[in-house]
Amino acid sequence: MAIHLCSHPLAQHLLTGLRSTETNPQHFRPLARRLTTLLALEATADLPTMASPITTPLEPMEGQVLAHGIVVIPILRAGLAMLEPFLELFPDVSVGYIGLERDHATAVAASYYCKLPQVQGCTTLVVDPMLATGGSAGQAIDHVKAAGATDVRLVCVVAAPEGVAAVEAAHPDVPIYAAALDRELNAKKYICPGLGDFGDRLYGTL
């Protein structure tokens, strides 16, 4: 499976807080932000750099800067929880938005919004905390590839084996970064043990 799991102990500590029913939206949001910082670093650890001549206060030297632009695309609405840490780490990023919502009965995601920046030549990070059936992530990746993205990465908090398999089958070139690979989907296509509906936990909706 093309999944990279974040091995940092802090990631598991933060994820445990997100999973607990005792965590209300007020505490859920900062936990999600802190965990995303770790995931963002993991998902970008191999970004290419290029030489940049600079002068320190002592002497000239050849520094290194990021070689390509970065695009971040949160899948609305839960993916919004993961945007801010990317903006803090990479202030130059361009941001696109893809709106997708699963039908409560069928769990099939329908698209309701798509606004993408220029993606050609950039590293495009699609961010969505939950990879369940993989329907939402697969559709989002279809959109960004149709816009010309080639280096595409998917960053999630919790993945289900079913979603990983679906993304890997449709987009074998797209690596997945997550904090956990959970056991399975239940009959309603929720991830178990999971953390419930991320969007509802984030925004206090039901």
Ligand X SMILES: O=P(O)(O)OC[C@H]1O[C@H](OP(=O)(O)OP(=O)(O)O)[C@H](O)[C@@H]1O
Site residues for ligand URA per CB under 6 A: 78, 130, 132, 190-191, 194, 197-199
From candidates 17, 34, 197, 203, binder to Mg ion by CB under 5 A: 197
106 is catalytic: yes
From candidates 138, 175, 194, 199, binder to Mg ion by CB under 5 A: 199
Report which of 138, 124, 129, 133 is spatially closest to residue 186, judged by C-alpha positions. 133
Q: Which does 191 bind (CB under 5 to 8 A by kind): ligand X, ligand URA, Mg ion, none?
A: ligand URA
Q: Which does 128 bind (CB under 5 to 8 A by kind): ligand URA, Mg ion, ligand X, none?
A: ligand X
Binding to ligand X (CB under 6 A): which residues in 144-173? Answer: 163
Report which of 151, 155, 195, 196 is spatially closest to residue 178, judged by C-alpha positions. 155
- For residue 135, the minimal CB distance to ligand X (Å) is 4
- For residue 77, the minimal CB distance to Mg ion (Å) is 7
Question: Binding to ligand X by residue 135, rule CB under 6 A?
Answer: yes
